[in-house]
Amino acid sequence: MQTLQLLALVGVFALMALLMFLRKLPALLALPLMAVLVALLGGIRVPDVLEHVIGAGAVKLHGAYTVAIFGSMLSVMLQKTRVVESFVKKGAELSGDNPWIIAVSMLAIIALLFTTVTGLGAIIMVATIVLPILSSVGIGGLTTVGIFLFGLSIGGTLNATNWAVYVSVMGLQLEQVRPFALLMFGVSTTAALIYITAQLYRDGQELNLRRIITGSLLTLAVVAGLIGGYHYGLTPAAQQQLGTVAGRAGTGLKWATAAGLAALALLVAVRAVLSDKTKASGEVHWSAYFSPLIPLLLILLFDVNFIAAFILGLLYAFASTYRRGSLNLLVQAALEGGAVVMPAVVLMFGIGMLLVAIMGPGVPLAAYPDGWPVLGLLRPLLAVVQPQHAWSYVLIFTLAAPLALYRGPLNVWGMGYGLAAVFLASGFNPLAIMGLLMAVGPIQSISDPTNTQNVWLANEMRVDVQKVLWNTLPYTWVLAFAGLALAALLFM
């Protein structure tokens, strides 16, 4: 009987993955349906499915989607006050006419904006400014799309909303998620710079490759020298002393940043009070350009609560762009922010249901004295298939990394968190699961042709969205390997 149940569960996973791959059933519907079927086939009673899987599951990720709603409010506020538009234009003006410099500048601007800004509307608004700038210096359409998608992915790596999902799903602390996210930020940025250089060279742009390569090798040599000197050139006592000095310097930098933010907030408040309230529009003040950074700095440096950080960012954006009608804009941003992010919120309902269906409600139930039945069915199977060593972790998941495409099993907006729940149920290290999903994430966010942003950008630049996949996949696959290698070193 248990064998038949296990086969049925695997069949449900495979069927739902196939339906999402063929785009016959959207993930919004597939995940709740999968949760109900998994629970019923696993031997969960109908009343418990209704109460725990559907009822409690829908609110399991309440922390994550509440953060998403507040983050979206700030995103809409920055769009409505033209901060995003002005920021991109200022960056373009300062970049000159060198294609490589302009491409890297646009990459940095996109990444910075999308640490806070979210939604297809924001992507379209930024793209309508960035795409013509990149095209005007002779950068090809395919390369332009790739640069934009890399920027989105890099920004998403530092987006606090995404961190909140890992915290809620994996039961991790922010302090556990943040260091690996910063490592992935560094690796992703390196991959993006390699992509830009290689693609511009293929597009026929005149690049000073010797200078770029020499500078890159020199930077790597300096970093390697510093790391090697620290580990092999210093005694343990010297290392400890250096660590103490670095810690004090970090603390000083932290409080210097706090003083700077306080001074900036005071400046913005005074300017808002003294500004001409009769002006309905005007130039965006330079202080408003810090708005996307406020939540990120508060979370990274001061461990401020996610929601509180976004609310403070929203208030700062309101004050730094204050003029006649700003209060109405704030209200509109609050209302529209929820609407913009609602598809992701509904998807989190389904993810929460699937998590409960697999792992149970988290409290003992008298009806199941031996534990949650689905968990009991899956645990022996996963004990066999899950990697036990660092090398097998890297090898297996590097080969499987393309399963993040087409809403596949490693796609966090498809079945990814469901698979995470299955691995968690088997006792797999939650940090290793987080490392897996974060490492293969760029394959989904950059290369997946089912992403609405990929389809829109490809259509705008008149290139085939499948060509975007094949153009970026070699880079994102290597990026996934690098991320998995880091995760294996840290967590396996």
Is residue 405 within 8 A of residue 476, CB to CB? The reply is no
Is residue 39 within 8 A of residue 360, CB to CB? The reply is no
Q: Tell me how far apart the alpha carbons of residues 182 and 483 are, in angstroms, rounded to a whole number.
A: 11
Residue 474: predicted pLDDT: 92
Residue 405: predicted pLDDT: 79
Residue 146: predicted pLDDT: 93
- Selection from 314, 63, 98, 301 nearest residue 206 by Cα: 98
Exposure letters 128-151 (e unless 16+ CB within 10 A, then b): ebbbebbeebebbbbbbbbbbbbb
Residue 315: predicted pLDDT: 92
Print pLDDT tens along the chain (492 aa): 677 888 888 788 778 877 877 778 887 888 899 889 989 998 889 999 999 999 988 988 788 788 878 888 888 888 888 887 787 777 767 666 788 888 888 898 888 888 877 776 677 767 777 887 888 778 888 999 999 999 999 988 888 777 887 787 777 888 888 888 888 988 999 999 999 988 988 877 777 777 777 877 787 777 777 766 766 667 777 777 877 887 888 788 888 888 888 889 898 888 888 776 555 556 788 888 888 888 878 877 887 887 888 899 899 999 988 888 788 889 998 888 888 878 878 878 887 888 888 878 877 787 888 777 887 777 777 666 677 788 888 998 898 888 887 666 777 766 677 777 777 777 788 888 889 989 998 998 898 887 778 877 887 788 887 888 889 999 999 999 999 999 999 887
SS3 of the chain: CHHHHHHHHHHHHHHHHHHHHCCCCCHHHHHHHHHHHHHHHCCCCHHHHHHHHHHHHHCCCHHHHHHHHHHHHHHHHHHHCCHHHHHHHHHHHHCCCCHHHHHHHHHHHHHHHCCCCCCHHHHHHHHHHHHHHHHHCCCCHHHHHHHHHHHHHHHHHCCHHHHHHHHHHHCCCHHHHHHHHHHHHHHHHHHHHHHHHHHHHHCCCCCCHHHHHHHHHHHHHHHHHHHHHHHHHCCHHHHHHHHHHHHHHHHHHHHHHHHHHHHHHHHHHHHHHHCCCCCCCCCCCHHHHHCCHHHHHHHHHHCCCHHHHHHHHHHHHHHHCCCCCHHHHHHHHHHHHHHHHHHHHHHHHHHHHHHHHHHCCCCCCCCCCCCCHHHHHHHHHHHHHCCCCHHHHHHHHHHHHHHHCCCCCCCCCCCHHHHHHHHHHCCCCHHHHHHHHHHHHHHHHHHCCCCHHHHHHHHHCCCCHHHHHHHHHHHHHHHHHHHHHHHHHHHC
Which two three-digit tokens encode residue 173?
A: 């602390």
Q: Tell me how far apart the alpha carbons of residues 6 and 17 are, in angstroms, rounded to a whole number.
A: 17
Residue 50: predicted pLDDT: 93
In tens, the pLDDT along 247-268 reads 888 788 888 888 888 889 898 8
- Selection from 419, 410, 466, 472 nearest residue 439 by Cα: 410
Is residue 192 within 8 A of residue 479, CB to CB? The reply is no
Exposure letters 226-255 (e unless 16+ CB within 10 A, then b): eeeeeeeeeeeeeeeeeeeeeeeeeeeeee
In the DSSP assignment, the letter for residue 89 is: H
In tens, the pLDDT along 109-145 reads 888 888 877 776 677 767 777 887 888 778 888 999 9
